[in-house]
Amino acid sequence: MIYKRAHVFYSGRVQGVGFRFTAASIADDLGLSGWIRNLSDGRVESVCEGEEKKVKKFLDSIAGEFNRYIINADINWEPPAKEFKNFNITF
């Protein structure tokens, strides 16, 4: 099993549309760990770790759910740190 970590910055109209709560629900359903938060510049930042196919499904699900709001998703693949137990919304 290959583990991956995606560090993503979403831009567009991604705040105030249920983005973080939906992403957290998707991550929980897939058994992924990490966090998501709003940034002061209007973007949303997320770190998500888990089995590679599940992380990709997470990213695809967010893109599908919020395609009318997302202008850009800057995805950076990083080595997994396995530092999180679950997926949280941070403030």
Instruction: Judge whether 88 counts as a catalytic residue.
Output: no
Catalytic residue among 5, 37, 38, 68: 38
Q: DSSP states of 2-63 as a string? A: -EEEEEEEEEES-SSSSHHHHHHHHHHHHT-EEEEEE-TTS-EEEEEEEEHHHHHHHHHHHH
Catalytic residue among 5, 20, 43, 86: 20
Instruction: Judge whether 38 counts as a catalytic residue.
Output: yes
| Residue positions annotated with a catalytic role | 20, 38
